[in-house]
Amino acid sequence: MCGTGTVLQALDAFLAERGCMVPLDLGSKGSCMLGGNVSTNAGGLRLLRYGSLHGSVLGLEVVTARGETLDMLSTLRKDNVGFDLKQLFIGSEGALGVVTRVALLAAPRPASVNVAVFGVESFDKCRRLLRLARATLGETLSAAEYVDGVAMALSLATLGLRSPFDNGGGGGHAFNFFVETAGCNAAHDVEKLSAFLEGASAEGLIADGVVAADASQARRLFRLREDVSVALSQRGHVFKYDVSLRRLADMDLLVREMRERLRLRGWAELDVETVGYGHIGDGNLHLNVSTPGRRQPYLPRLEADIEPFVYERVLELGGSVSAEHGVGQAKVEWVARSRAPPVVALMRAVKGLLDPSGTLNPGKVLEKEGSRSK
């Protein structure tokens, strides 16, 4: 058990001394706190292996709007007495109660970690690589990520880094596919990774590739994926969209449609770039629209060309407008568009029961009664 003000990286370091790890890894692990992670049901880089916090959180202590403390800190793996009320607060964004303590199921720390990054020339080949990775890497597969070539080139240029594939500074390939494996037997894990590499080469899925030679290089390679968001923020203003799609092919389709939409409106001439990257292993796309210049102001006209198109298109494709970062106040109106009326009514009823005065996180998650969607 630990307090919700615990920084994720500090918790992981504490567990490392005991042979364990946090089953959640985020690029912001050096600053984000466990309470925020639970309240937003953060997904992160290794959801593919360890699942969401709905499965990893064994128990919670929560303070309600009335000041009552709900002790749901059971650490039992199986406890099927009544309703599993803690699940209400995981991902509720603080709108139902304040999470104060967490009982988290730690995962065994792997003895063997391997990272590889591949240059890939089409998104279809990325999908086929993922299918092959699932089939050949099996239980050792811990992460499958992708970064499109535009995002990689911007990231490398902004951060002053070199491509992992050559001595130049460009991204070099249409897509970059990252694989991480984690296990307890290095020889066994390397054998599986080698089989994956042979299969990928035989099927013509990769144009280039680098496999980390040691733990230090593995960390450096994976940071190329983790630091994309950091690089884009340094480049200028970023419009960020965290969505999930039912079909993997639609991840790239949405990026291409947005890129073409903004090109036709003249934004490409102003070096506005549309990029895609994210968790291909679980269908979670981070679609970003990046403007140049660190002092570039927020551009309302650009936002109007992006929204509501991006959210409407996601729903048309059967996806979710919020994959892992919650609703907050920016997506409030999209809750009613994403859920059936009886479901929204039940959400309101739960909110009214736990926070009748609307004290907790007002204006977040649910619209006020009677307000109109645009």
Residue 344: half-sphere exposure toward Cβ, Cα within 13 Å: 15
pLDDT for 319 beyond 80:
yes
| 114 backbone dihedrals φ, ψ, rounded to 5° | -125, 140
| CATH code, domain carrying 36 | 3.30.465.10
Helix, strand or coil, per DSSP, at residue 72:
strand
130 and 86 belong to one structural domain: no
In a domain, 326, yes or no: no
Inter-residue contact 210 to 165 (CB < 8 Å) = yes
Q: To 5 degrees, how large is the angle CA 274–CA 278–CA 279?
A: 155
Task: Specify whether 43 is located in the same domain as 70.
Answer: yes
Q: Rg for the chain (alpha carbons), in Å?
A: 21
The answer to whether residue 170 scores a pLDDT higher than 70 is no
Cα angle 124, 229, 175 (rounded to 5 degrees) comes to 20
Domain that holds residue 273: 236-316
What one-character DSSP code corresponds to residue 140? G
Among residues 126, 134, 127, the alpha carbon closest in space to that of 207 is found at 126
Residue 4: pLDDT band with limits 50, 70, 90: confident
* Cβ atoms within 10 Å, residue 247: 12
pLDDT at 233 over 50: yes
Tell me the residue type at 184.
C
pTM surpassing 0.75? yes
Where residue 262 sits, what CATH number does that domain have? 3.30.70.2740
Catalogue the E-assigned strands of 19-68: 20-21, 57-63
More confident residue, 298 or 38: 38
Separation of CA 228 from chain center = 12
What pLDDT shows up at residue 370?
58
Share of the chain above pLDDT 90, in %: 86
Average pLDDT over residues 169-176: 76
Number of separate domains in the chain: 3
On whether both 28 and 83 belong to a single domain, the answer is: yes
Domain termination site, one of 174, 205, 228 = 228
Q: Is the pLDDT of residue 111 over 90?
A: yes
CA distance 350 to 199: 51
Question: Are residue 191 and residue 290 in the same domain, yes or no?
Answer: no
